[in-house]
A and B are shown apart, each in its own frame.
Chain A
């Protein structure tokens, strides 16, 4: 039971959706819709346009409804599954990939609408959340010219891969070539910044070593 008061459990909601019962969808939206939307706004309002946020929300709900049979209570709560589906829907729009809408996915038992669980390589990244180089790069991204900053932020929001250049070109009123060139310039600037931040600790260490 999600809210501790309603006699209808999350599994009941999933079963209703499996039966094609709209009431299950209505209960899901009433119970979790606000926070799902809040999640998309919190992370993607600066990346997706207002209409795209609505599109991501609708796509997420569509996949929750369509793939309700893939929900596994043993792998987490319904709320957590829904959040992961919403994240994937938003990333698909940033990458402008609409494969997740294909009808035949319903017949692919291995398809997970919440996305594959992060693999070991991704999990490794959590070992260095306080890496000073990353802090330096975040500052460098903030200091980029507006178009370059928007491209890099969209690339980060795209998850695995790059943001679609055509979408960025349409939003920023320019061409795909200009997006490629700006992205290249931004990465060069960030690379230089990373090199500088890499060299600083090394110098500091060597000076400490000399003092010792």
Chain B
């Protein structure tokens, strides 16, 4: 999927970005922003650390780390499933695998167990499950 803005987004994004303060600033706008900010001094240690990085040209690059997965997890998982379904490759048919799948489906759909075997539900044919001590 191309990573390009669509027509609708191109039309409104600049206006929305400007309202949110993300548009490229003009010198006057930048000056107003600067004057509106509280004048807080940087700690001396931070100043020295920045000077060291900047003058050496060795800037630390931060690798993004996952945020709390609960925040977007379920939504993201649902989308992942959608993506897998959309992109699923059926592949080539395999008669052995198809037969095995059919057999497993038949077994799963069987209502009654074969003679001489335990009831797979564990109820022994009773409509209710066994109570404790039964």
Binding site for B on A (CB under 8 A): 22, 25-26, 29-30, 32-35, 37-39, 42-43, 49, 51-52, 54-55, 57-59, 61-62, 65, 75-77, 79-84, 87-88, 91, 101, 115-118, 121-122, 125-126, 128-129, 131, 133-134, 137-138, 141, 145-148, 150, 155-162, 165, 167, 170-175, 177-178, 180-182, 184, 187, 190-191, 194
Contacts and interface: CB of A to CB of B under 8 A. Distances in A.
Contacts of A184: 1
B9 A55 contact: no
A184 B62 CA distance: 28
Contacts of B25: 80, 83-84, 87, 118
Interface residues of B, number: 62
From DSSP, what is the main secondary structure of chain B's interface residues? helix
B71 A146 contact: yes
B101 interface: no
Interface in B1-47: 1, 3-6, 8-9, 12-28, 30-31, 33-34, 37-42, 46-47
Given A129-B19, A161-B5, 14 more contacts: A29-B51, A30-B47, A38-B38, A58-B50, A77-B31, A84-B27, A122-B18, A125-B14, A134-B16, A134-B19, A167-B64, A177-B83, A180-B1, A194-B8
Contacts, number: 221
Contact of A178 (B20, B26, B80): B80
A162 B64 contact: no
27 contacts: A22-B51, A25-B51, A29-B42, A33-B47, A34-B42, A35-B34, A38-B40, A39-B33, A43-B22, A51-B63, A59-B59, A80-B30, A88-B24, A101-B59, A117-B27, A121-B14, A122-B23, A122-B24, A125-B14, A125-B15, A134-B12, A137-B12, A155-B5, A159-B22, A165-B3, A172-B67, A187-B8
A55 B31 contact: no
Contacts of A180: 1, 3
Contacts of A147: 72, 75-76, 79
Contacts of A194: 8, 12
B1 A177 contact: yes
